[in-house]
């Protein structure tokens, strides 16, 4: 077949040009390129793309389109069924080869296979979103890892991923087929426009990802070990949405982190990258991870159907300041500090006894870094029902967590301004504050700020009792 027949580069969760194995292989094939992104919205309703992710996708595609254009390429945008669109475009253009990255998402894997089965030419599926292929990291018996530390050690024993590929300087473009207008996809909010906090916080796209990575690795890495647990500071990388959309690769970050001397901070950062890898590995081998507990006895947990409590949690109106601060941060900027994610998840699952799947679904809709593997893996970890999970009887005390990691109260004051004037000694448990302290701060419990929706001690005992029951019945 003539080398003038184009090659399709199917972008998915790898919206970048640097370290893109599929794009690089397509260029090496010597064919004119047809870069393509398909907005396929046929995913199961529960896992349809949330509003925050749609906002991010719009801006990420804008960035990718510009980057391709600067190198002579053209991004074709189509919306609908991936198989039908790929068949149509291949037929119209005579495309001889298809290059694409992979995903651990079970629905995306089914779509990928269906597209490959229907494509008339050569299909090359490359690794673009993880450090290693999930089937490469196996136990000595050939099985999948279920515990993080042996998994991480196995990854480290591989010697690290190969150096990242450079971005192409020029793209030989094929004549593009019909493309839709990104603006017609309605990915951005209309009225009310709730995305102001997202615009103020994030710069989606490959350039924004690299700028954030460089700033973090240059200025914050040395203090990362201690600063990453303090939500009021700027101690975390905040790279998770860029990683999810593939605007920067885990491989790039791995090698960037190994520049110079990183000390303890670098070691912890690499372990965080490997935790992300672990979650992707879990989803690859357990496609029902987003829906069903890995520890099957947790299917018998006597969860509560408490819609008012769930709504209070979602809105940041639980009466527990560190929980409310986290949930309001999530709503404002589409992201929440990792330490606080654990606190709010523990509160929902254990103090309120509301199923972890409800929290997982809310995060999916509101996070700009809503990654199916990390989201489901982390919620199962907190719930105690996943791989290498925190024991169910490990129940975060949100008051103690707030006092320890937000001792000055700066985080709570930022996101729960109705408590801003309350003395730090009382900030994380205002229901225990003396009446004169509340009055001086202008706080009227039950009016300006809610009373706690659950007694923390009683909620803890209820959770422990439920856990003991399913263990004894199992």
Closest to 377 in 3D by CA, of 368, 369, 389, 365? 389
Q: Are 102 and 129 in contact (CB under 8 A)?
A: yes
Verify cis geometry, omega within 30 degrees of 0, for the bond prior to 192: yes
Q: How far apart are the first and last CA of the chain?
A: 61
Residue whose entry in the numeric block shows the structure tokens 């694409």: 100
Bridge-based pairing of strands 122-126 and 97-101 is parallel
User: Which residue among the candidates 272, 358, 360, 418 is catalytic per the annotation?
Assistant: 272
The backbone torsions φ and ψ at residue 125, rounded to the nearest 5 degrees and listed phi first, read: -105, 125
From 97, 379, 381, 418, the catalytic residue: 379
| Catalytic residue selected from 303, 331, 397, 431 | 303
The tokens for 11 are: 């972008």
Give the burial class of 306: count Cβ atoms within 10 A of its Cβ; 0-12 exposed, 13-18 middle, 19 or more buried.
middle
| 275: annotated active-site residue | yes
Order across the sheet with 122-126: list the strands.
76-79, 33-39, 7-11, 97-101, 122-126
**Catalytic residue (choose from 55, 356, 364, 381):** 356
Q: Is 141 exposed, middle or buried (0-12, 13-18, 19+ CB in 10 A)?
A: exposed
What is the C-alpha separation between 274 and 285, in angstroms, rounded? 16
Catalytic annotation present for 338: yes
Angle, helices 250-257 vs 263-285, to 10°: value is 160
Nearest to 168 by CA among 18, 12, 10, 7: 18
Judged on CB neighbours under 10 Å (0-12, 13-18, 19+), 5 is middle
Which of 275, 284, 313, 381 is catalytic? The answer is: 275
> Exposed/middle/buried for 347, CB within 10 Å: 0-12, 13-18, 19+?
buried
Is 47 an annotated catalytic residue? Answer: no
Q: Is 356 a catalytic residue?
A: yes
Contacts of 440 (CB under 8 A, 6+ apart): 421
Distance CA 17, CA 209 (A): 12
Buried b (16+ CB within 10 A) or exposed e, 435-471: eebbeebebeeeeebbebbbebeebbebbeebbeebe
List the catalytic residues: 272, 275, 303, 338, 356, 379
């Amino acid at each position: 077949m003539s080398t003038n027949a184009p090659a399709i580069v199917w972008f998915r969760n790898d919206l970048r040009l640097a370290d893109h194995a599929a794009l690089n292989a397509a260029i090496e094939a010597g064919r004119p390129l047809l870069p393509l992104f398909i907005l396929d919205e046929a995913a199961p309703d529960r896992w349809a793309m949330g509003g925050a992710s749609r906002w991010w996708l719009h801006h990420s595609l804008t960035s990718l389109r510009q980057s391709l254009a600067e190198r002579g390429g053209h991004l074709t945008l189509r919306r609908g069924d991936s198989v039908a669109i790929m068949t149509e475009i291949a037929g119209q253009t005579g495309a001889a080869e298809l290059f694409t990255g992979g995903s651990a998402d079970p629905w995306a894997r089914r779509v990928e296979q269906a597209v490959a089965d229907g494509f008339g030419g050569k299909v090359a599926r490359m690794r673009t979103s993880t450090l290693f292929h999930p089937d490469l990291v196996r136990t000595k018996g050939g099985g999948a890892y279920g515990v993080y530390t042996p998994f991480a050690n196995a990854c480290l024993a591989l010697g690290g991923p190969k150096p990242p590929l450079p971005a192409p300087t020029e793209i030989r473009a094929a004549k593009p087929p019909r493309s839709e207008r990104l603006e017609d996809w309605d990915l951005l909010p209309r009225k009310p426009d709730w995305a102001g906090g997202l615009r103020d916080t994030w710069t989606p796209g490959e350039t924004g990802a690299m700028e954030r990575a460089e700033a973090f690795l240059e200025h914050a890495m040395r203090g990362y070990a201690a600063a990453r647990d303090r939500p009021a500071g700027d101690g975390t990388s905040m790279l998770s949405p860029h990683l999810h959309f593939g605007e920067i690769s885990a491989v790039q970050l791995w090698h960037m982190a190994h520049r110079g001397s990183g000390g303890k901070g670098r070691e912890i950062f690499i372990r965080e990258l490997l935790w992300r890898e672990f979650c992707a590995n879990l989803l690859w081998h357990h496609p029902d991870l987003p829906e069903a507990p890995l520890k099957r006895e947790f299917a018998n947990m006597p969860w509560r159907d408490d819609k008012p409590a769930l709504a209070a949690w979602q809105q940041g109106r639980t009466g527990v300041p560190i929980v409310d601060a986290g949930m309001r941060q999530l709503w404002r900027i589409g992201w929440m500090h990792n330490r606080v994610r654990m606190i709010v998840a523990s509160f929902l699952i254990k103090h309120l006894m509301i199923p972890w799947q409800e929290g997982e679904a809310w995060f999916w809709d509101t996070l700009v870094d809503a990654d199916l593997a990390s989201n489901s893996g982390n919620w199962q970890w907190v719930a105690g029902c996943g791989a290498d999970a925190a024991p169910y009887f490990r129940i975060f005390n949100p008051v103690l967590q707030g006092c320890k990691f937000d001792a000055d109260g700066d985080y709570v004051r930022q996101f729960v301004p109705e408590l801003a004037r309350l003395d730090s000694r009382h900030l994380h448990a205002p229901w225990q504050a003396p009446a004169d302290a509340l009055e001086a701060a202008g706080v009227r419990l039950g009016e300006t700020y809610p009373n706690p929706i659950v007694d923390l001690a009683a909620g803890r005992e209820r959770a422990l009792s439920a856990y003991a029951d399913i263990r004894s019945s199992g």
